Amino acid sequence: MTSRERLAAALGFHEPDRPPHFEQMFELVGEAFGREFPTEEELVDAVGEQRQELFRRCASLYAQTVERFHWDAVLVWRPGAQSDVQYDFLRYLREYLDDSVPIGGFVWGSAISIDSVDDYMQFSVDLYENPRRLHSWAREMLDRAGEHARQLVEAGCELVDIANDYAFNSGPFISPQHFAEFSAPYMKELVQYVQGLGARVIFHSDGNLMPIMDQILAIGPDVLHSIDPMAGMDIKEVKACTHGRIALMGNVQCSHLQEGPRALIEESCEYALRHGSPGGGLIFSSSNTVFKGLPLANYEIMVNYLHQRFPG
């Protein structure tokens, strides 16, 4: 199967030849390829042929990542969304990569969440005394996010990762009732808007989401990431209540990937595959990102385990 076919099968709840694999971010390009992405400042400041050269540098790193680690899609994290340079690069990358590899981008700060609240004292007061202010703020974020998502799709994105953290390991950062009022309706509107543009939506949040899982189902994204085992998210339990409605991405425990040993990494891989892959609906990935400081060899253990489990 091609990457595009494999991903489509999994998202359609059919079993592909193997679960598709890619990561939200891969920050070990230096360790893997001996080269780094240009900085955001370099990308923003460059013009003409200099910018094209930096685009080639970025695109070649994505292409090498796809080839070496058998990724089935790419989410573009560099360049970021600081300027219109990202949209230009996405168009460039779509031409650079094999068309069988879908590409996507990120929408950050689109809802009231852990990431977007700066003053928790004022926020706590507003929850009870000034809900109108919070609704106004949520609408502003939604409008900005929708415009950014539209431009991502027009630039060639088939996947849009809406990334907000709604939960700690202990549970949601606000009560399910407050989430239903201040976050869920705006997220549902954004998800439906992006899907209406023809893109698939990945809904990202770390933490224990089980107390609001019914609301996430109602929001209706195509994929839920990261199924965080360190927060008690059991992919077997999550799949039981989401299968056929939302595909799952993640669950390979990042602390094991960072610290090892091999046995714990492989145990986490096996649990995710055994409970996530039957009937389709699984994108195999880490429970967050492949971040700086995580040993490259440990990530390779994870990738190799997938291909040993699904040979051919």
- Bridge partners, residue 161, by sequence: 106, 202
Beta carbons of 186 and 111 less than 8 angstroms apart: yes
| pLDDT tens per residue across span 8-58 | 999 999 999 999 999 999 999 999 999 999 999 999 999 999 999 999 999
Q: What residues have CB less than 8 Å from 187, skipping those under 6 apart?
A: 110, 111, 162, 164, 203, 219
- Bridge partners, residue 248, by sequence: 224, 282
| pLDDT reported for residue 84 | 85
pTM to 2 decimal places: 0.97
| pLDDT reported for residue 312 | 76
| pLDDT tens per residue across span 209-222 | 999 999 999 999 99
Answer whether residue 286 shows pLDDT above 90.
Answer: yes
| pLDDT tens per residue across span 231-281 | 999 999 999 999 999 999 999 999 999 999 999 999 999 999 999 999 999
Structure token digits, residue 47? 């013009």
| pLDDT reported for residue 188 | 98
Which residue, among 251, 295, 249, has the nearest Cα to 71 in the 3D structure? 249
Give me the chain's average pLDDT, please: 97
Query: What is the phi/psi pair of residue 21, to 5°?
Result: -140, 130
| pLDDT tens per residue across span 169-207 | 999 999 999 999 999 999 999 999 999 999 999 999 999
Answer whether residue 116 shows pLDDT above 70.
Answer: yes
Q: What residues have CB less than 8 Å from 177, skipping those under 6 apart?
A: none
| pLDDT reported for residue 31 | 98
How deeply is 23 buried, as exposed, middle or buried, from its count of CB atoms within 10 A (0-12, 13-18, 19+)? buried
User: Per-domain residue ranges for the chain?
Assistant: 3-309
| pLDDT reported for residue 82 | 64
| pLDDT reported for residue 51 | 95
Cα gap 51→42, rounded to integer Å: 8
The stretch 143-161 carries a mean pLDDT of: 97
Structural fold of domain 3-309: TIM Barrel (3.20.20)
Structure token digits, residue 10? 């999994």
CA geometry: angle 44, 50, 52, nearest 5 deg: 85
Q: What is the dihedral of CA 1, 199, 186, 151, to 10 degrees?
A: 140
Cα gap 281→275, rounded to integer Å: 11
